[in-house]
Copies of this chain bind each other. A is one copy, B any other.
Amino acid sequence: MNNIITLNHGSGGKVTHDLISNLFVKHFNNKYLSASTDSSIIDCEEGQMAFTSDGYVVDPIFFPGGDIGKLAVCGTVNDLAVSGATPKYLSSSFILEEGFSINDLETIVKSMAEEAKKAGVSIITGDTKVVPKGKCDKIFITTSGVGFIKPKFMAIGEGSKVKSGNKLIINGTLGDHAIAILSSRESLSFETPVKSDCASLNHMIKKVMDVCPEVAFMRDATRGGLATVVCELASKTGYGITLYENKIPINDSVMAICELFGFDPLFQANEGKVLMVVPDEEADKVIAVLKSDKLGINAVIVGEVTGEKTGKVILETITGGKRLIDMPAGAQLPRIC
């Protein structure tokens, strides 16, 4: 194998086949991929299935706490998990730039394989396209995923179970992913101990669903951050939501950098944080379960669903004031995921 990607790697001919065998089939290592059919055939569990897809264009492709491959697996696993599904199978489609390093590709593929193993999913189908130098930026990955879902968890992604008095819980500090990416941008690079929180949350989420089948809503707080997810939820359900600024966990380093750049950490992207909305009487139990998992040790109640049908989100600030939180028009940082 040469050490860079050429247009021939995307041709569908022998060079493509060799890349698939020597890299994807080797590292993803499952019977579905080895069959090298146009589609992979899997057993359906009776009932319902969740289906999702996400493109990953993060820049840089290697960052503190992860890389584009790990992100592409975690992100799609989390989208299935927050829908109440057990993630099972992923597809991965690569768009590669001519001249991209095959060593870097192998590092990324290994990282995907490792994260898939951790999450308990198999990457069973995919595709590779190569575009001429300058027509894309190094590597883009699109992963789709399927997972099976039990009827009692069907409405978790919709918000229809959310009620007045429900508590909002987050499993840890906000903004780590965005700040880790920002700190490693070529044009901006500065020293910070902040690492991306990029992680597959499905096992932790399953523990919560096992002890609290009454969980009313879950959503991972990625692009747009916690504030965007909460605004969506308020708008969807019509309920007012209050967030307590003094409860929202933020790393000191993240806070310092946000202040420096004038960012609001509430709107910064996370890749390992889930907002859970649970009945008041279940909140302590859910917090305890989250804290028992290393991805949830900083879990805390950050807000509640109010009795009023305003559809608005209010932040009770540290200084005792109230601030209306609105969905941002755009992002502070492009190519965050």
Contact = CB atoms under 8 A, between A and B. Distances in A.
A238 interface: no
A55 B330 contact: no
Contacts of A140: 95, 129, 136, 140
B224 A53 contact: no
A335 interface: yes
A237 interface: no
A52 B40 contact: yes
B13 A39 contact: no
A: interface residue count bin: 35 or more
For A83, A125, A142, A147, the residue with the greatest tally of chain B CB atoms inside 10 Å of its CB is A142
A25 interface: no
A222 to B, nearest CB: 7
A49 interface: yes
B55 A95 contact: yes
Contacts of A49: 41-44, 146
A83 B224 contact: no
* Count of identical protomers in the assembly: 2
Contact of A94 (B8, B37, B55, B220): B55
Given A55-B142, A57-B131, A331 B10 contact: yes
Interface string A121-144: 000111111111011110010101
Contact of A41 (B11, B92, B145, B154): B154
Contacts of A24: none
Contacts of A129: 55-57, 140, 335, 337
A74 to B, nearest CB: 13
Contacts of A13: 223-224, 228, 327-331
For A50, A93, A328, the residue with the greatest tally of chain B CB atoms inside 10 Å of its CB is A93
